[in-house]
Structure 1
Amino acid sequence: MLLAVQKSLKTLRPDWEPAPSPKPSLIAEMDSLSGWMEHRHTLLLRTLIDGTAEELQLPGVPTLFIRVGEVIETLRKDTRLKFAEFREKWTTRLEERALLPFLQRNQWIVPHPEGGVALVGKGNRKEARMLYLQTLHDMSFDASRQWASIAGRLEAFQEQFATEWLRELPPEGNFRAPPVLEATLRAAEVRAWKNLRLSLPGMAEESFVRAVQRWDNRRFLNPGALAREVPEVWRKGEPTRNGFIGFMRAVSAVSERMTGAMLDHYERKWKLLLRGFSKE
């Protein structure tokens, strides 16, 4: 699953959307969740289910079910707000009037023999990476931090959900199988989403380097044009569009949508577990 998502993220397309999937059955959903578990935990869950009475029932917890939805919706709103603030901040930092003096101060801009200006060097991979590190590295890590902030709050809420859920359940053993499932898959879930989140800056760097390297044949009309046009692929063919800002928006869109995908996953998980079910 993570590999497929990472391949999609490598494009850093701002219009990327996850493909819709049909609503699975309860059994399919439970099977999907158990895929996050270690094998010994899956075996434990199966033993608990098969070793209980002929009928396994799990009462629903409607109050907590509703609260989960409210918490996730609040986190979605906060996600939209955080990334809107992120884009506003980095748009200001990457505007031509802010970026151009930085490029000039760090001697990235040189006269072109045929007129106009060019980037210094030939644009090999090392030079392209240095340009990224000096202009966009902090931005991509900041995008990852916005995601991490929501993930940290969600993890704290999960602890609360689990505690409240156990408090509502009868103490008999056959009611403890689903909590065992949730408790044993949680660490793997957190680890998987964290690994994906930490990979975002590296994927952003690789996308930028591949797109802008080998600039030795490029010539720009003036320094302002250079500051806008170096990341050409993220300008969408608009003469006045700033490619650095376009790249920032692409990274922001990927990070925000993956934060949303994370929230969707946890909402589905908790609502599945809290709605109640029975095994005849």
Structure 2
Amino acid sequence: MTGTSLLGLGFRLDRASELANLSQAMDIRWSIALYEHLDAAEANPEEMMSGSEMISNGKIAWKIAAEDFPIILDEYRQKFEEFRAKWIQRFATEEITRMLSQNQYILRDDNGWYYTATAEKLRNLYFSTIHLMVGDAEKLLVNLSGRVEHMQDKLSRLWYKESAVDASSKILPALEAALRSSEYALTSRLRASLAGVSRNRFMVEFKPPRDKRHFHTARSCAKNVGANNANIAYENAFLAFTDDFCDYAQGLTLFIGKWYLEKWLLYLRGFSRGQLDLFTHKTVG
């Protein structure tokens, strides 16, 4: 962080404290390697002040990241459009009516058709419908994570081969590697959040009303299961839920992909020799 950016914050960071917090997210093995590179760089001050202006600048790797990550993002944007179309078809009103009727979520009495579900049956309804869709979305996120992991391995190897020529130029690659396991843990938590978010919302929106409402036909009853003012524009509430969930899941997936793109474009630029003091022990003592 430069002096200009510090002034823009409006307050002064305690660098030692910030680095201590950052170190807690690091893989211990790479953390040791990072400190070894820092010590080696400080032990040879003449090396730190000589050489090209830009350190750890991976031009070839940067070009690959700039070209390949957008291709991956476009691919997953298309995958989620196909995902949306698939589940909108599965939750068509005819299918929902048949499923709700067969499993006795909608019943008929002398006054017509009505929706009913105990707490246990409501959970079963979630697991037989929305939960399956969430599982499909999680698979797409897992697949993206695999693609990203492959890209990161490829970029880091090329970056190291291209620019890691001395202790100073190994600092940034070691920092990236040290933080990578924490990044994967965070994306795993984000992926796992899909199930919790969708289930909590479903349990609220699809809970049967206290006052039993009757409808003339099974279809009209099914169309009103989970209906509220927010989703009234949709033919049934499952379609509304699907549309919102797809927006959220796709947005989360593309956000993760864009984050990795921006991460690598930043890392692979390297840093200028004048910024080496950011990594020296003197600045954190």
Q: Which residue of 2 aligns with 1:37?
A: 25
Cα distance in 1 for partners of 2:229, 2:62 equals 42
Matched, 1:254 2:243: no
TM-score of the superposition, structure 2-length normalised?
0.78
Determine helix, strand or coil for the equivalent of 1:117.
strand
**Number of the residue aligned with 2:66:** 69
Amino acid at match of 2:225: V
Shift of 1:145: 1.5
Q: Which runs of 5+ in 2 are unaligned?
A: 10-17, 275-285
- TM-score norm. by structure 1 comes to 0.79
The counterpart of 1:146, out of the listed 140, 144, 161, is 140
Contact map agreement 2:93 2:235 (CA 8 A) in 1: no
Deviation at 1:126, TM superposition (A): 2.4
Corresponding position: 1:201 with 2:203: no
Q: 1: distance between equivalents of 2:24 and 2:81?
A: 32
Which has more radius of gyration?
Answer: 2
Residue 279 of structure 2 corresponds to: none
Q: Percent identity?
A: 25
Q: Aligned residue for 1:264?
A: 258
**Alpha-carbon distance change, 214 to 276 in structure 1, aligned in 2, over 3 angstroms:** same
Q: 1:68 to 1:234 in 2, by over 3 A?
A: farther
Partner of 1:107: 104
Decide which of 190, 204, 210 is 2:204's aligned counterpart: 210
* CA–CA distance in structure 2, aligned partners of residues 66 and 228 of structure 1: 51
- For residues 1-280 of structure 1, the aligned pairs below 5 Å read 34=22, 37-38=25-26, 45=34, 48-49=37-38, 51-52=40-41, 53-54=44-45, 55=48, 57-113=54-110, 115-120=111-116, 123-221=117-215, 222-233=217-228, 236-238=231-233, 241-280=235-274
For the 8 Å contact 2:114–2:214, the answer to whether it is kept is yes
Contact 1:96 1:224 (C-alpha < 8 Å) held by counterparts:
yes
Deviation per CA, 1:102-128: give whole Å up to 9, x if none: 222212211255x231123xx443232
* Shift >3 Å, 4+ stretches: 31-36, 39-51, 53-57
Structure 1 pair 36–213 and aligned structure 2 pair: CA distance change class (3 A): farther
User: CA separation in 2, counterparts of 1:102 and 1:214?
Assistant: 17
- State the shift of 1:186 in Å: 0.8
Q: Which residue identity lines up with residue 255 of structure 1 in the other structure?
A: A
Structure 2 equivalent of residue 17 of structure 1: none
Aligned amino acid, residue 138 of structure 1: L
* Native 8 Å contact 2:55 2:270 kept in 1: yes
The question of whether the paired residues in 2 share the 8 Å contact of 1:112 and 1:219 is answered with: no
CA distance in 1: counterparts of 2:38 and 2:202, whole angstroms: 50
Question: Counterpart of 1:168 in 2: which secondary structure?
Answer: helix
1:229: how far off?
2.0
Q: Please list every run of 5 or more consecutive structure 1 residues that lacks an aligned counterpart in the other structure.
A: 1-23
